[in-house]
Amino acid sequence: MVHPAAIHPLTPGSPAYAALKVGAIGSIVALRFALTRRSRHQERAAPAEQTAVEPPAERQRSSHPVSRKKKKRRRRG
């Protein structure tokens, strides 16, 4: 009698089926691990963002970078 896995490679009991099943379970575990870490990281970052919502003080606008270069050239020459 021929083993059923010899007829089709994805029949339960074949090495290819076992490898695919292990790979699928491993990828699900890895995905769950990654999503758990991501959600934990976002929870830690959320309180920090809420405390940093202070109205910005009146800041002086920086001059245009090209203008700075022109000033330096004029001072040298």
Structure token pair of residue 65: 């970078």
Give 66: exposed, middle or buried? Use CB within 10 Å, 0-12, 13-18, 19+.
exposed
The whole-model pTM stands at 0.46
Q: Count Cβ atoms below 10 Å from residue 17 Cβ, excluding itself.
A: 15
Q: Which of the four pLDDT bands, split at 50, 70 and 90, describes residue 17?
A: confident
Whether the CA torsion 20, 21, 23, 24 is positive or negative: it is positive
The 10s digit of each residue's pLDDT in 53-75 is 556 667 777 766 777 777 777 77
